[in-house]
Structure 1
Amino acid sequence: MSLNDYIKYLTQQITSYIDTPIEEKREKRLKNKEVPPVYSNRWLGVLPFAFKVAKKKTD
């Protein structure tokens, strides 16, 4: 991906975010907060995930 493509992508993402109404942004934020976090990742970081991936590769 060239630099121009990356800048174009970032510009599109920023403008789409700016163009969305405040109500939609607020609803999306509230919906994301309702999803319960995975406690193993929240409390212990990436290590449980790394162990899961390593275990799956060995199986």
Structure 2
Amino acid sequence: MKSNDYVKFMTETFVKYMDQPKDERKKYRQQKKVEKEPFLFRWFGVIPYVFYYGLKTKRKD
């Protein structure tokens, strides 16, 4: 991708974002925040999540 193509893409994305009403932008940001994966899974992959789940189930027993 050439730099001109990238600048064009970023400009179009920014303009499309700014053309949306303010409340719609807030709703979109809130939706992305809700859909975000847990911190450990996002930063370190599946392994910490497996350990956490194992400890969680072990405590219940």
Structure whose CA Rg is larger = 2
TM-score, normalised to structure 2, is 0.57
Task: Tell me how far apart the structure 2 counterparts of residues 41 and 22 of structure 1 sit (CA, whole Å).
Answer: 31
Q: SS in structure 2 opposite 1:32?
A: helix
Name stretches of at least 5 consecutive residues in structure 1 with no aligned partner: 52-59
Partner in structure 2 of residue 33 of structure 1: 33
Cα RMSD between the aligned structures? 2.2
Q: How many residues are aligned here? A: 47
Q: SS in structure 1 opposite 2:37?
A: coil
TM-score, normalised to structure 1, is 0.58
4+ residue runs over 6 A deviation: none
Return closer, same or farther for 1:6/1:36 CA change in 2, 3 Å cut-off: closer
Name stretches of at least 5 consecutive residues in structure 2 with no aligned partner: 48-61
Identity across the alignment (%): 28
Q: Deviations over 1:5-58 (max 9, x none)?
A: 11110110111111111010111122223336325325xx23x35x6xxxxxxx
